[in-house]
Amino acid sequence: MFVLPRPASNTIDPERDSSPSASEDVVSWGTLAQVKHRTVNGHIEHSFSKAVSTLDNREVKLRGFVIPLESGEKHSHFLLSASPRSCFECWARGPEGWVEVTSEVPVEDTYGQILVSGRFLVIRSDRGDLHYRIVDAVRVRN
């Protein structure tokens, strides 16, 4: 029998993260997981919850782990994930478990969680890409 591994203790579990984390203004990964997918006439349609849709084009804060897209000590373009990059078995999430982040000021590479703030965009394409993007991001020191 194959058993899926449990998320690592340092992973942000969306099943348990359905309410805002730490403070009311931090978006939870549980909220971001509120999306359904279906195929209609060969195209993927995404149905986002009202909670997700109201975040579109608004300033938000999100806590997660930096997943670099290129090598280097600092990054202006990276993914933010509920799972650390060292937890490969935790990466079985769909596109709702990742957020593309762009920032003017590069963010230092780290294996620990960070908190970013920026303008949140819901991506409604049918290409199967990531569902979310944060632009004009800044790291919030906590």
- Does the pTM of the predicted model rise above 0.85? no
Beta strands (DSSP E) in 49-131 are 58-68, 74-81, 98-108, 113-122
The two three-digit tokens of residue 86, written as one number: 């060292």
2.40.50, 2.60.40, 2.60.120, 3.90.660: which CATH number matches 26-140? 2.40.50
Strand, coil or helix: 98: strand
The 10s digit of each residue's pLDDT in 24-78 is 589 999 999 999 888 888 887 888 999 999 999 999 999 999 999 999 999 999 9
